[in-house]
Structures are given as structure tokens and as C-alpha cells.
Amino acid sequence: MNTASLTDPTYFINRELSLLAFNHRVLELAQDQSLPLLERLRFLCISSANLDEFFEVRVGSLRQQQALGLNQVGADGLEPSQLLDEIAVRAHVLVSQQYTVLNEVLIPALKQAGIYFIRRTQWNEAQREWLSDYFDHELMPLLNPLGLDPSHPFPKVINKSLNFIVELEGVDAFGREIDAAIVQAPRVLPRIIRLPEAIAPSCDSFVFLSSILHAFIGRLFPGMSVDGCHQFRITRNSNMYVDEEEIDDLLKAMKGELAQRNTGMALRLEVSDHCPQESVDFLQRHFHLKQQDVYRVSGPVNLNRLQTVLDLVDRPELRFRPFQQGNLPTLAPGKRDMFRLIRSGDVLLHQPFQSFQPVLDFVAQAARDPDVLAIKMTLYRTGKDSALVESLARAARAGKEVTVVVELRARFDEEANIALTSRLQEANAHVVYGVVGYKTHAKLCLVVRREQGQLMRYAHLGTGNYHAGTAKAYTDFSLFTCRPEMTEDMHRIFHMLTGLGHIRHLNCLLESPFHLHQSILRKIEREIAHAKAGKPAHIMAKMNALIEPQIITALYEASSAGVQVDLVVRGVCCLRPGIVGVSDNIRVRSVMGRFLEHPRVYYFKNSGAEELYCSSADWMPRNFFRRVEVAFPILDEGLRKRVYDEAFGLYLQDNTQAWILDAQGQYTRLTPQPNELPLAAQDVLMASLGGEDASFSGRLLDVAQPTTMH
């Protein structure tokens, strides 16, 4: 086949539209009656939060392109204006489905379970009296009504805040006719209020803040009558634009840019479905939005705020059953010597089925150990009050050489990373902000220790962030090793990050932006050559997103040459499988469940000399060309087989939490056939790796018996 024909735009799925399809799959989980009820509510909230970020980042970027007169076209051939029109159509469908799930599925199911959301029209006298008092004492002191007239222009509405447009009749204290006002709900106010059990149908009975404000908002306008009160919310462009080539201090510039995030270009208006068209038109004109940017909703304008219920309701039977993470074997009572453990052989963790604690122990032990001379680490996301950051600070205060590459531009974690940077600098650690123009996304920690008069290096490499919180919710692989070929490569990468010199040679790690892309292309070409020679050839990859056009084209070539390609892509996939003569041999599935699938794993059959890499990098342009990423091989044969089984063997058999992608770009959820037993990969991993006594033997195969390596 002519390679040029493989770049036909019809062979590519648009990135943004694929991302919306991912949010549809999240919403499907909210409707899955096999899942606990409160977890279904959580998935609804996640779909809403995801859509917020989609507008803030993806739609924001497209609108920015339009504003600058750019007309960038992706591999799928859609121009920004065409894409924005199609996004609007699909996003409206998604939002409508979200509120249908809330109002017609979840709220009735929650009521049946004794969890009530009591609407304003359903309040009895006792409830109205209590809520009236609540408004007077808890809400009204914090509210500032803003009448709209020439001396009181429309107030600044910050990103994703809750606001009300109030229709008024009458004159104010100065005799001026005021027909409209804006009331903004401060973010400190709870969006969901629990009613006292004595006046409620259950101890878990709630009222939306918007309902209370609707009922009593007239008290903010004495002497005037309120003809209507309607909630609205604006979503703004939250991309941060910092010209790194033109600034002297990235930290200072980031602090300044953060303040602008809440006031970027308006992208979407969400408004109550009962709001009169005249008021909607007024808001639409004020924010310079098109009709397609207006979303009328039947319920609270920010579904993500329903997450509060998950914290307020203590109903374990309505949640996922408690899960005990597996632990590494302890070498001595009450003490785990991580250095001794790593010297005995490479150690692999699969989080969250196994605990993240050994990673924290590794850094903490390095901080305490008098024989440790230096710690070098990359930090992308860590969370607040990170024990790991405290260990690094302790090591620096103890006089160890501590070098930390902090990515200040980790989206929506910029403020937290600025804070931890200051904390580390105060402890005299060397803090580097990475490389201008490139995000440092690799997950690396290198410890230098003096042993018997010689320097020994120990390393941790991961597919996920050094974040103890997300390590309980995201699936990721971690590797501990002291193999010289790997630690020497890491040493060279850290020198590149801090000294900005060239990497002339790496023993076994694959690194972007210089090597990873070409390395993957060469490995795909090698599989093609094997297939043409009649030798075993197989490509498998597990990742969050597959977007990069050259890689997709290479996979099409591999399929055309007879190479079997199996892809487990959680989110965005721009490749179309199953196109006759193009991608017949490619299968794509998305697996989603209790935990967020996050590892990146690449496998190449290589005529029996198998190669398997774990990585921080998805197959996206940004990961290949605009980030510092690392892919690391699993060299231990037993661990390589284990990663193969846990990343592919199980997930390619999942028939309960998997969706199959077809050539039209549609996803279909799998269900067990009459002759099949149900298999959920995450459930099997919880059973096989979880628990206090989890080992690294063949327990996984005893439970699932997945496909093994040949």
C-alpha cells in the first residue's frame, strides 16, 4: 500500500471529539446499576468536571486560534470553526444526558436509598422556617447584590463561579429604576446544605444552595419586587500563556499568570432552563457568546459540586467495598531496608493494587541514611503536605546534595508546585524549573550512596506522579533498580535537565524529546520486517491517549504488513481500527472502572526477543516533542512477564469494564456472552495483588489465567 494513502484524513478520528466520547463512557458508568450508588454519583461528577476542563483547555485553545487568525488543521482535516460547531452539537447532547441521569436516574435511586434532595417546591413549613433562618444568618451577610445601571456596570464574573441574574421591578433607595441585578455566591459557601434530621425525611436530606437563594433572594432588595431569579455560570479559557523565551524568572511569571486564569475569554454559558430568553440573550451578548455556547440546564449549574454528598453521607454499603493494598515483604521486623531489597533484584509495584508506601520509604530512608550523599528527583504533581517533599527538605537540611526538577506548569497544579518550590529552596535544595519550552513529565528519582568506599546508585522510575493521593486512585507501575546501565542513563538525563548539555548515548532508556519518537517508529518498522519475513510479530501498547499522526500511520503500515496490533487506550484515540486494507489487524479497547487507568506500557514481540517498556509518555505530539519523558525497559524476565500479564493479558480479556472502538469511531461496551464468565481486570488485580500478604509470585495467574508471553 502507498504510504501516502495512509494519511487520508478519513483514517483519523478528531482528538477533541474522541475526548468527548471518553466523557460519554464516564457517564455510562454513572448509569451502571452493577456499581454502588454513590460511586455512580461520583462518575457523574467526574464527567462534569472533565467537561469543564475540556472547555477550559481544549475549546479555549481552539477559540484562541480563531482570535489569532490561525487555521491549524489536524490529521483529521477539520478546521477550528468546523470543529467548534461539531463540539457544540456533541457537548449539548452530553450535557442533556448528564442532567437526565441526575434527575431521572440518580436522584430517584438516592431517594429510594434514603438520601433526599429536597426541591424548593417540596419544602414543608418547618423546613422553610429553618432555611429562612439559615439564609438570614449564614448566607445574607456574605452576599452583595449588584444592581445594573450606568454607575454599577456588570460585575466581573470569575471562571466557574455560581451567579444569579435577578429580574427586578421598582425603584431603589435613591429613586432609580432598576430592572436587573447580579448576585454572586462566594466560593466559601457550601453548595449543598444538610437539613436537621428532626425536620427531614432522613438524616441524609439536602437542599441545594441555589434553591435557598432562589427562595429568599428578595430580602436583598427591600422595597422592590423580584420577578425572577436564575442561576448561571461562565466557563473561561484557562490556558496559561507565558513566553518563556522573554522572561527572566519563570516562577515570578507563573505567579502573575495564575491570577489571570479566572478571567480569561468566556467560552460557555450555563443557565437555568427556566431563565427567560430575554435574560439569556442579555448574558449571551455581555459575554460575547454565540447561541451554540449557551447550555440550559435542569438542576445545579455545576454538577461537580455534588461531590460534597460523597463526603457528607456515611453509607459504606453504597460505596466500593474497602480495599487493602498489597505490601512489599518486610525484611526485618518493623523495618524495611529499601537499599538491601533493591540490591537483591529489581522490584516492581503495580499501584494502587500495591501500596505506594515503598516509594515514600525509599526517599525517606535516603534522607535519613548518613551514607547517602545525593538525591535527584523530578516532581510534576505531589499534592499538598507531601511527605515526600518533607523528606527531600529534611535531606537538604542535613547537608545532602538534593536536586529537584519541579514542573511549575503542571496544569491546575501550578500553585501547589510554586509552594513546594519555595519550601525546598528554604531548605537549601537545588530547585530547577526544567527546560524552557519543555515540560519535565518524566518520573525519576536517583539516590547516590557510598558503600564500601564506592559510590552506588539506586533508582526509582514510574509511570505516575509522586503523589500519595492519586497513587490510591490511579493505576501505575513503579520500578526500583540499581542496574548500572539504567542508573547511568538517569545520571545523564539529570545532567541534561540541570546543565542543559547533550545526551550523546543512553544504554537502555528511551528519552524524549530527542530519542523516544524515533525509537518507537524504528521498533514498529522492525515488527513490520519480521512479519514480512514470516517471523513472530506483535505490537501491544497501553496508554491514556494515542494521537501522534506518524505513529498512527506506522501502525497502519504494520497492520497492512500482517502485524497484530492490540491497543488499550483509556481516553483519546485518533486511530480508526478495522478499516479494510488499512487497520484490519488493529484492535482498540478502552477499559474504565473503579481506578483511573494511567500506566503507559509498550510491547514488541521482536521475533521472540521480546521488549517491554513502561513510560511516563502517551503517544501524543506533546509527549514526543514538547516534554522530557522517559521509557524504561523491564529487563528482569519474571517482572517482564508479570507486567505483560497485568497490563495486557488481563485487560485484553476484560468483558465487563471494556469498550471496543470500531472503524466509525463508535465505542461499544462489552458484556459477557452466555458461554463466558465475567472478568473485570481491576477486580482480578485487587484480588491477586491486594492484602497484607500479597507476594510477587504467580498469584495473578491462579486467579485469572490470562494470556501469557510466548
Domains along the chain? 3-318 (3.30.1840.10), 338-499 (3.30.870.10), 510-704 (3.30.870.10)
Burial classification of residue 40, based on how many CB atoms lie within 10 Å of its CB (0-12 exposed, 13-18 middle, 19 or more buried)? buried
- 411 annotated to a ligand binding site: yes
**Cis amide leading into 513 (omega within 30):** yes
CB atoms inside a 10 Å sphere around CB 329: 10
- For the chain of 710 residues, list the mean pLDDT of each consecutive stretch of 10: 74 96 97 96 96 93 85 88 95 98 97 96 96 96 84 83 91 73 92 96 96 94 91 87 39 45 83 95 95 96 93 95 84 71 96 95 96 94 82 93 79 62 83 80 96 95 92 96 97 88 87 96 98 98 97 98 98 97 97 96 97 97 95 97 98 97 96 93 95 41 35
What's the pLDDT score for residue 498? Answer: 86
Look up residue 190 and give its amino acid. Answer: P
> Residue 686: which residues within 8 A CB-CB, separation 6 or more?
323, 353
- 288 annotated to a ligand binding site: no
- 340 annotated to a ligand binding site: no
Percent of the chain as helix, strand, coil, to the nearest 5: 40, 25, 35
Question: Looking at the annotation, which residues are catalytic?
Answer: 441
What's the pLDDT score for residue 408? Answer: 66
Helix axes 209-216, 125-134, angle to 10 degrees: 90
The C-alpha R_g of the chain, in whole angstroms, comes to 28
Q: Of 96, 119, 113, 110, which Cα lies nearest the Cα of 47?
A: 96
CA distance 126 to 132: 10
- 669 annotated to a ligand binding site: no
What's the pLDDT score for residue 329? Answer: 66
Q: How far apart are the first and last CA of the chain?
A: 30
Confirm if 545 and 518 have CB atoms less than 8 A apart: no
- 417 annotated to a ligand binding site: no
Q: Which uninterrupted H or E stretch holds 551?
A: helix 549-560
CB atoms inside a 10 Å sphere around CB 702: 10
Helix axes 387-397, 414-426, angle to 10 degrees: 20
CA distance 482 to 490: 11
Confirm if 346 and 639 have CB atoms less than 8 A apart: yes
Confirm if 480 and 508 have CB atoms less than 8 A apart: no
Q: Which uninterrupted H or E stretch holds 611?
A: strand 611-615
What's the pLDDT score for residue 18? Answer: 97
Confirm if 362 and 447 have CB atoms less than 8 A apart: yes
In order, the DSSP letters of 40-94 are HHHHHHHHHHHHHHIIIIIIHHHHHHHHTT-----TT---HHHHHHHHHHHHHHH
- 219 annotated to a ligand binding site: no
